[in-house]
Chain A
Amino acid sequence: MLSKGLKRKREEEEEKEPLAVDAWWLDPGHASVAQAPPAVASSSLFDLSVLKLHHSLQQSEPDLRHLVLVVNTLRRIQASMAPAAALPPVPSPPAAPSVADNLLASSDAALSASMASLLEDLSHIEGLSQAPQPLADEGPPGRSIGGAAPSLGALDLLGPATGCLLDDGLEGLFEDIDTSMYDNELWAPASEGLKPGPEDGPGKVEAPELDEAELDYLMDVLVGTQALERPPGPGR
């Protein structure tokens, strides 16, 4: 949070970078324009947006406005990062992207797909409320809600419907995205800052450096620790 008296010079520098991506995005008020390589600058904003998206989806009842705005912003950023690749208008089903594919295009497809399925799950929630049906024993009333344990909350009630998060789509998503973002504390005092993604630029094709432990950590962050432990009873 920006608070009284604290200067955030590092932020000032960083905020200029994403705006310097392309002439189209230029803020004419800035003196320095072409500071960093465009792809790298956009990548940190991209990562930030993805993090926000997942954080938003982790809420038991996501703020739809926040979610929609972040998703739309993310699409804009993606469009600027890969201006040559056309965005798939209809998200294709999540599939393990082949190594030869353009990293960004496949990332976008997988992202759209998992976003789509998660938004679909939100509509399932509404379906549940309108036609009450016996639930799978996923959601005992005694479950605690809130920020205690990061979890998908109500989305977990749907069991199979969220299974798509756990299949190739999600893994494919994370194969393409630089995960150093998740390892760093984003809001720590600017000791580390935002590490630019190693190779997110278009045209670069390589196997991402993501080992088992990191993937597990990411999975846990997203899916929560449901499988490992039940959260305690309802608390406020």
Chain B
Amino acid sequence: MTSRLHIRTPSLREVESQGEGHTGSATADIISTVEFNHTGELLATGDKGGRVVIFQREPESKNAPHSQGEYDVYSTFQSHEPEFDYLKSLEIEEKINKIKWLPQQNAAHSLLSTNDKTIKLWKITERDKRPEGYNLKDEEGKLKDLSTVTSLQVPVLKPMDLMVEVSPRRIFANGHTYHINSISVNSDCETYMSADDLRINLWHLAITDRSFNIVDIKPANMEDLTEVITASEFHPHHCNLFVYSSSKGSLRLCDMRAAALCDKHSKLFEEPEDPSNRSFFSEIISSVSDVKFSHSGRYMLTRDYLTVKVWDLNMEARPIETYQVHDYLRSKLCSLYENDCIFDKFECAWNGSDSVIMTGAYNNFFRMFDRNTKRDVTLEASRESSKPRAVLKPRRVCVGGKRRRDDISVDSLDFTKKILHTAWHPAENIIAIAATNNLYIFQDKVNSDMH
């Protein structure tokens, strides 16, 4: 076993979250989404308290070989505040459900962040110079006495400490009655979609006062409701294609060229139920919690409660690959139903070359599957077992039978420690893992096999 993954030093976020316990805001620090930008230079996290923290990768320098490309805090801002809907007498949570970066088109960076109801477009700019040498104003900005001005000078730009400024450029409100679960930027860089439990809307990035409804699965009679939308994403290359997943485990690929309202799918991806594994909970565990197109655009990755599946866009009948994340939980579904863990929504991620897929699990474990070698590994994101620059040790869950020394038994798994949100750098082997209110960033320094 030669995998060598290094953990970076704990981030500023981790330090802050420990200190904020006194205000009871420890839950506000729970990370609710993680997303790299398109180059991987920036990493954004959103939390339950409505804040966004952006990390920037330091450029590698010969002077400090140990801090090769590590991530440090770049900017922190409050994206969403708790709101109160007076009409319905409901509180709207400020928790950030999703963040998506826009492709960078100029010196500024832009991202979309959303809570249950409102999407916001944020612009992040840097200021590292300031003009000095005004003719009419002095250093403090006060007007000079004109009689003292004897010559004219051209103001020059002098360097200053880097200042990162964040401003909300658009607020896309009142588009959703139900809770937003996904947003996805179109490859045309002009539009994006937002999906809630029953509807998907298409927005133009520059227009906030209207959106187009492109999917509506709300039945005429709510009593006929049996299925909800769980996730959706635009195709990475074809601006007319998008996919959405449902609580019944199906995927629908839709083509916006076909009709204004894409209620009729172009393709329906569904795997028939395995009769030998049938139980009362079959539907719940088949509910898809995340769907991601591969970078190539040829495959889709889905996560349901016990597995991750790779689907070929050209084959609707069944996935081409299925990986067991934690099959040892199959016999414990009743307990997990009782304590609601069976409803946990895990995300999944592709690596840059679409050869490895990753997803989180319980006990702060996360799993990686190599599609080519068919090898998989279980790793743990925890402070106890990881020190800066330490090498991560693979973990194993034993179900019974022979047990090795460091194995964890199924019964001692901590189900409160769940890794729901993970992200993979678009090009390199760097992964970001959100474990409750801690962010772990692992970098693979050496090319490695997995066992």
Contacts and interface: CB of A to CB of B under 8 A. Distances in A.
Interface in A1-31: 1-5, 7-8, 11-12, 14-15, 18-19, 24-25, 27-30
Contact of B89 (A66, A71, A76, A141): A141
B115 interface: no
A11 B329 CA distance: 13
Given A48-B338, A60-B90, A69 B280 contact: no
B284 A4 contact: no
Contact of B226 (A72, A77, A80): A72
A119 B89 contact: no
A115 B331 contact: no
A234 B84 contact: yes
Interface stretch (B207-215, B369-377, B411-419, B441-449): B411-419
A126 B230 CA distance: 19
B89 A3 contact: no
A interface majority secondary structure: helix
A145 B91 contact: yes
A54 interface: no
B178 interface: yes
A183 interface: no
Contacts of A146: 91
Nearest to B223: A116
Interface string B303-340: 00000000000000000000000000011111111111
B197 interface: yes
Interface in A145-162: 145-146, 153-154, 157
Nearest to A156: B89
Contacts of A125: 88, 177
Q: Which of A5, A116, A123 lies at the interface centre, i.e. has the most chain B CB atoms within 10 A of its CB?
A: A123
Nearest to B91: A145
B393 interface: no
Interface residues of A, number: 64
Interface string B326-363: 00001111111111110100000000000000000001
A129 B87 CA distance: 7
17 contacts: A2-B413, A3-B415, A4-B413, A8-B411, A11-B338, A15-B332, A15-B335, A27-B330, A65-B343, A66-B340, A126-B177, A129-B87, A141-B89, A145-B84, A145-B91, A157-B89, A186-B338
Interface of A: 1-5, 7-8, 11-12, 14-15, 18-19, 24-25, 27-30, 45, 48, 52, 60-61, 63-66, 68-69, 71-73, 76-77, 80, 91, 112, 115-117, 119-120, 122-123, 125-126, 128-130, 132, 135, 139, 141, 143, 145-146, 153-154, 157, 186-187, 234, 236
Given A8-B335, A129-B177, 15 more contacts: A2-B415, A4-B414, A18-B280, A19-B279, A61-B179, A63-B179, A64-B178, A64-B228, A69-B287, A76-B280, A115-B223, A120-B221, A120-B222, A126-B177, A132-B87
Interface of B: 82, 84-91, 177-179, 197-198, 218, 221-223, 225-228, 230, 247, 276-281, 283-284, 287, 330-341, 343, 363, 411-416
